A and B are shown apart, each in its own frame.
Chain A
Amino acid sequence: MTGKVLIIDDSPLLRRSMRRALSQLGVEEDRILEAGNGQEGLKALEAGSVSLVLLDLNMPVMDGEEFLTEMRAQQCFDNVSVLIITTESNAGRLMKLGRLGITGFLHKPFEPEDLREIAAQALGKAS
Chain B
Amino acid sequence: MEQLTEDRISGMISSALERIAFVFAEPIDASTEHSANRHASITFESAGDSGTIFLSAEDGFLHELAANLLGVEMEEVSDEESSQALTELANIVGGEIILALGASSIPFQLGLPGVIEAPPTASPAASGACVESEGGVLSVSLEPA
Give A contacts to B, CB under 8 Å.
10-14, 16-17, 20, 58-60, 86-93, 107-111
Contact = CB atoms under 8 A, between A and B. Distances in A.
A11 B84 contact: yes
Query: Which size bracket describes the interface of B in this complex?
Result: 20 to 34
Contact of A87 (B66, B71, B94, B106): B94
B110 interface: yes
B126 interface: no
Contacts, number: 65
A13 B69 contact: yes
Q: Which 3 A-B pairs have the closest CB atoms?
A: A87-B95, A109-B20, A13-B84
B91 A108 contact: yes
Contact of B104 (A14, A17, A58, A91): A91
B122 interface: no
Contacts of A90: 103-108
Contacts of B116: none
Interface in B1-57: 15-17, 19-20
